Amino acid sequence: MSKPITYSDAGVSIDAANQTVARIKELARTTFNARTLSEIGSFGGMFDGAFPQMRAPVLVASADGVGTKLKIAFETNTHDTVGRDLVNHCVNDILVQGARPLFFLDYVAAGVLAPQTIASVIEGVARGCRENGCVLLGGETAEMPGFYAAGEYDIAGFIVGVVDRARVIDGSSIAPGDAVLALPSVGLHTNGYSLARKLFFEVASYRADTHLAELDTTVGAALLAPHVSYLNALEGLLDQGVLKGLAHITGGGLLENMPRILPTGTGVEIVRGSWPILPIFALMQHLGSVPEAEMYRTFNMGIGMIIVCAPTDVTVIKTHIAAHDLACYEVGNIVTGANEVKLV
C-alpha cells in the first residue's frame, strides 16, 4: 500500500496557518472598538453600520498594495513596517474624499507560511490601524506553494471609511486662482520602487546595507522610510469646508495625480523650488540621468499630499497643520486651461 498523501506533502501546513491566525487574532483585538461585532476567524467581519450623527452617510472604499517595496523588506529582513505603510496608503486614498476610516482588511499570501514573518507583517498592519483609529476587522492568509519564491510574500489592503454626503471633498468647487499647498513625504512612500531598485542596485551596484553620505543612512533604510498618513493632520479641517480638493501623490507622481481632482477647464502651475526635494530623489536622478518629467511622473518628489483651497483659507490651513508639527508649503495655483500640471 502506498504512503497516504496529506496536504502538508503538497507544501501547505495547516498547523503553521493556525499558529499564524492565532497571533493575528491577538493583534487584531488591539484595534477593536465598540462598533466591532465579530472576532477574527468568522467567515465575515461585522461592524456596526449606524451613523446617527450623519444625515446622509456615504461609504468610501479603496484597495491597494505596497508594490516592490516588499523586495526591500525581503532583502533587509524587515517585515514590521510594510503593513503600516499599507494601512497609511489606504487611509490617505479615502481621506482625499473627506472620509474617516472605519475598518480595514488585509490579504497576505506566501509560498510557505513563516508564522513569525507573517506575524511581523500583521503587527505593522495593527499598528497602522491603531494610529488611524481603524479596526482590523478581518483578512486572508494564503499559503500557495510554488507560486512565490522562498522567503517572499505579497500583501494587499482593503479599507472602508465614511463621510457625510454634504462633507464629501470632490474637487468640484476648485476654480482658477485657488492656492495649491503641499504636505511633505518622508521618502518614496510606496511608489516608484521598480525604478528605484534598478537605479540603486543595478546602475549604482549598491547593496541594501551600503551607507550613503548623501542620505546619512543605508540604502535599505532610506527605501524603507514610512508611508505617512495625513489623517491626524487634516482631520480637524475635514468639517470646516476649507478643503476644496485633496490629492494623494502616489503612482503617477505630481503630474498624473493632481489632474484627477480638477474640474474641466482648470489646470495647475507648480513652482519649482517652492518645497524641499528630498536628497534621495536628487540622488536617483543623478544616478540614472533620469529626465525631470520622468522623475515627476514616477515619484512624489517630496510631496505626499496636495491641498487645494481658496487663497483666503491658506493661513487657517497652514496654522492648523503647523500645530500638528507638520510642514505645509504653498507650491502653486490653479489656472484656466487643460487638466494638466505645469512646472514653472
Q: How far apart are CA 254 and CA 305, in angstroms?
A: 10
Residue 56 main-chain phi, psi, to 5 deg? -145, 80
> Strands 329-336 and 179-184: what pairing?
antiparallel
- For position 211, what pLDDT does the model report? 97
- For position 13, what pLDDT does the model report? 57
- For position 7, what pLDDT does the model report? 55
- For position 25, what pLDDT does the model report? 85
Q: How far apart are CA 306 and CA 174, in angstroms?
A: 13
Residues of the chain with CATH 3.90.650.10: 179-343
Q: How far apart are CA 138 and CA 81, in angstroms?
A: 19
- For position 112, what pLDDT does the model report? 87
CA-based nearest residue to 99, from 227, 229, 231, 189? 231
> Strands 100-110 and 135-143: what pairing?
parallel
Residues of the chain with CATH 3.30.1330.10: 12-167
Cβ neighbors of 53 (< 8 A, separation 6 or more) are none
- For position 43, what pLDDT does the model report? 84
- For position 102, what pLDDT does the model report? 97
Which pTM value belongs to this model? 0.93
- For position 51, what pLDDT does the model report? 94
- For position 226, what pLDDT does the model report? 96
- For position 11, what pLDDT does the model report? 59
**The CATH number of the domain covering residues in 12-167:** 3.30.1330.10
Task: Compute how many other C-beta atoms are within 10 angstroms of the C-beta atom of residue 205.
Answer: 8
Which positions of the chain have pLDDT values less than 50?
1, 5
- For position 290, what pLDDT does the model report? 95
**The CATH number of the domain covering residues in 179-343:** 3.90.650.10
Q: How many residues does the chain have?
A: 344
